[in-house]
């Protein structure tokens, strides 16, 4: 997914706020669903972040065109881990590893069904 850095993403010096890298990654995850005609909020529940590990290598700036790549690292009974990398041109500037857990709408952890696992594989295991 490509994302342009806009003024609202930056401080007065034109540098992207650190929290916006997380937003960019969230948009890329959601876009993976939307691109296949799906919604990230499923009929029986939704995914929430359980653990995040982020590395900042270099700053993005106002006007930059960024590319976000997402890769499935691991899938367990009720969760999966993704690695997301943000590139400016061919240089990696940010990397995120995120553990996402599947919850019912009343907040209980729910096992991933075979269908949901297959969907996740179709979205992120490329």
Give backbone dihedrals phi and psi of 90, rounded to 5 degrees, phi first: -105, 10
What is the rounded distance in angstroms from the CA atom of residue 125 to the CA atom of residue 39? 18
The pTM for the full model equals: 0.93
**Of 11, 89, 106, 125, which is the active-site residue?**
11
Q: How far is CA 122 from the centre of its chain?
A: 15
Please tell me the predicted confidence (pLDDT) of residue 52.
98
Distance CA 80, CA 2 (A): 23
* pLDDT at residue 126 tops 70: no
Query: Could you confirm whether 11 is annotated as catalytic?
Result: yes
Check if the beta carbon of residue 95 is closer than 8 Å to that of residue 55: yes
Q: Check if the beta carbon of residue 13 is closer than 8 Å to that of residue 59.
A: no
Q: How confident is the model at residue 32 (pLDDT cuts 50, 70, 90)?
A: very high
Give the whole-angstrom CA distance, residue 31 versus residue 76. Answer: 23
**Using one digit for the tens of pLDDT, what is the confidence trace for 85-94?**
999 999 999 9
Residue 76 confidence (pLDDT) above 90: yes
């Amino acid at each position: 997914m490509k994302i342009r850095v806009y003024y609202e993403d930056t401080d007065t010096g034109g540098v992207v706020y650190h929290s916006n890298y997380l937003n960019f990654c969230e948009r890329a995850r959601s876009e993976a669903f939307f691109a296949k005609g799906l919604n990230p909020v499923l009929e029986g529940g939704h995914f929430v972040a359980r653990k995040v590990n982020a590395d900042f290598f270099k700053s993005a700036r106002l006007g930059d065109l960024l590319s976000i790549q997402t890769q499935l690292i691991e899938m367990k009974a009720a969760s999966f881990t993704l690695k997301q990398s943000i590139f400016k041109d061919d240089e990696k500037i940010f990397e995120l590893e995120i553990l996402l857990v599947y919850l019912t709408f009343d907040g209980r952890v729910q096992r991933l069904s075979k269908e949901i696992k297959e969907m996740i594989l179709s979205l992120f295991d490329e």
